[in-house]
Chains A and B, each alone.
Chain A
């Protein structure tokens, strides 16, 4: 992924490079169009002064060289051309002493030379190179001898200090700039990654997460609105849960009373009497209604277009063990035994929903097992997670088997058995939400084997 941070740094570096290039070009243009001419004029003035002084010394050729070398010591590079076309140089030696046509005219036509105009170089540095074509030239005569004096300021002497200073200046600007940008980029991207993390938490239905970003800028505003949003979502979620809890409490309590008192009636009625039968019908219907209410509430939330699984990592073997222990009283009632072979397995799933799955499958197995038989539960984590629940119960007939996972389908068409026909549909729905699958194998009269496959998730 191309991170925002990296993009920011890249852009900053690009701009730094661009500004350097642009700066160099601009200073070049400025130098070439203004400063250069001034320098040339200044140098020409100096050269003419030197030439005049030399001419006034009248014929003393011996004094020529010491004078020129002391001038050179003041910070000039000097080349003296005598009538025999010989160069004598003073000060720093020239890199290139080629005499161009224009420069030769100083000697031949006694003209003033102001550097090479032909092949105009726009680049500043060429004007700093110590070449002959970078000088000004004046003619003069001493003792009737014709000379040409070429002169330029010694840039080495002049520039080395300034260059170092300039370079240091530029470098420090670049370093401070870059450091500032890195810091700025961090400052900008840190709250953004915090926001991203918070968004992920909310997507997982975790509304307890709050952002601790307090900034006076737009990002601070964003963080504040985000916190407000989390707060509202939390309230919604809470009121939804409270609603479900209230509805189930207010439905289940009266049903519990109906069922309980009907039971008391049937216990008092004479065995086999009509009264006992009627009371039993009331009791079993109340029980069915209560199961239906619970399952419909669960289905109504599962049927939301995007059901948010509250996934977490937990020990699956513990959960199954607990679910079975909770049915101990039913196991005891039917004198069943259950053997558990549960490998230690962690699963990444919605704990509450998965609990429903085990609860339902185990209660089914108990319901359809004949007294004193066995139920086997195996959990293995080789090749994905698989949970097998096997009973020696009544089994499911081949005709019913394809339909048992349909809503409201009941194998017993007379509907005299307890049940709502929703249990397995919900199990199927939940396992599908976890990207797993449920398989049923059954032989009528011999037992049923339910296998739940779950993929081994890695927590992101």
Chain B
């Protein structure tokens, strides 16, 4: 996947590029808005990472063009970390923001999140007994309490909830959640299921993950 990085500072561009490449993305670099727009005339990218402070056209203005006219999700990079900047960024249509200095893990997490959110048409909300899964925000609501659980656990729960009452084979979960065809994450799946059960139980969810021996799991409404 090709990601456009727009920043006027060479070293930061390079750093982000290295971090992206190490994670398996292809990075395209531009030193300002003009260069970025010129590149986008003939090429396509999946997402853009844009610095707020740039000479010439600012990051906000560029974000507006990218997200509204070209339909490219944008992550803004800001130094200040104060809301004024952030708000302006959201108004300009950016999907998310990063505050300098950020860690490569944070960058990749946010990039992943917007890529999976963007252009995916799914049933957004799944309700089962007193549990609601919101696939746009990755929130779980149990009664009136909002629960934020790790992304992987959410994905597993969403796969099970999407066909509740049916037994889902472990291989299907591994493929849907990890993109894993060879069963490398078997062990992870076990621990995630255990934790997910604990969390659901702790917050009084009226659903239960049942193990179907030798096949997989099934989400059932209880009580």
Contacts and interface: CB of A to CB of B under 8 A. Distances in A.
Same complex origin of A and B: yes
B110 interface: yes
B101 interface: yes
Interface string B162-199: 00000000000000000000000000000000010001
Contacts of A286: 101
B12 A257 contact: yes
A339 B147 contact: yes
A252 interface: yes
A372 B79 contact: no
Contact of B113 (A264, A328, A331, A352): A328
A290 B153 CA distance: 33
B24 to A, nearest CB: 15
Contacts of B145: 339-341
A333 B15 contact: no
Given A253-B100, A256-B101, A339-B147, A261 B80 contact: no
A340 B146 contact: yes
A343 B11 CA distance: 45
B101 A259 contact: yes
Contacts of B144: 341
Given A257-B12, A257-B15, A333-B105, A324 B148 contact: yes
Most buried by B among A261, A294, A328, A333: A328
Nearest to A319: B83
B159 interface: no
Contacts, number: 104
Contacts of B105: 329, 333
Contact of A256 (B12, B85, B149, B199): B12
Contacts of B53: 245, 249
A257 B14 CA distance: 10
Contacts of A324: 148
B9 interface: yes
A306 to B, nearest CB: 20
Contacts of B67: none
A336 interface: yes
Interface string B100-139: 1111111001100100000000000000000000000110
A329 B109 contact: yes
B106 A290 contact: no
Q: How large is the interface on B (under 10, 10 to 19, 20 to 34, 35 or more residues)?
A: 35 or more
A7 to B, nearest CB: 44
Interface residues of A, number: 43
B148 A261 contact: no
A91 B114 CA distance: 111
A261 B18 CA distance: 10
A451 interface: no
A356 B81 CA distance: 9
A329 B79 contact: no
Interface string A324-367: 11001111110111111110000000011001100000000000
A352 B79 contact: no
A127 interface: no
A185 interface: no
Contact of B151 (A248, A332, A342): A332
B109 A331 contact: no
A244 B80 contact: yes
Contacts of B106: 329-330
Given A286-B101, A290-B101, A351-B83, A256 B148 contact: no
A58 B11 CA distance: 140
Given A248-B80, A249-B53, A355-B83, A260 B148 contact: no
A342 B146 contact: yes
A374 interface: yes
Interface in B62-84: 79-84
A252 B199 contact: no
Nearest to B84: A352
B83 A325 contact: no
B25 interface: no
A333 B152 CA distance: 11
A331 B53 CA distance: 29
A253 B145 CA distance: 39
Given A321-B146, A340-B147, A329 B110 contact: yes
Contact of A264 (B18, B85, B100, B148): B18
A257 B12 CA distance: 6
A261 B146 contact: no
Contacts of B85: 245
A263 interface: yes
A249 B148 contact: no
26 contacts: A245-B80, A245-B85, A248-B80, A251-B79, A253-B79, A256-B100, A257-B11, A260-B101, A261-B15, A263-B103, A290-B100, A290-B101, A294-B81, A321-B146, A325-B148, A332-B151, A332-B152, A337-B147, A338-B148, A339-B148, A340-B146, A340-B148, A351-B83, A355-B83, A374-B199, A374-B202
Given A252-B79, A355-B83, 8 more contacts: A248-B81, A249-B79, A255-B100, A256-B15, A332-B109, A335-B153, A337-B147, A351-B83
Closest 7 CB pairs of A and B: A329-B109, A256-B101, A252-B79, A340-B146, A260-B15, A249-B79, A252-B100
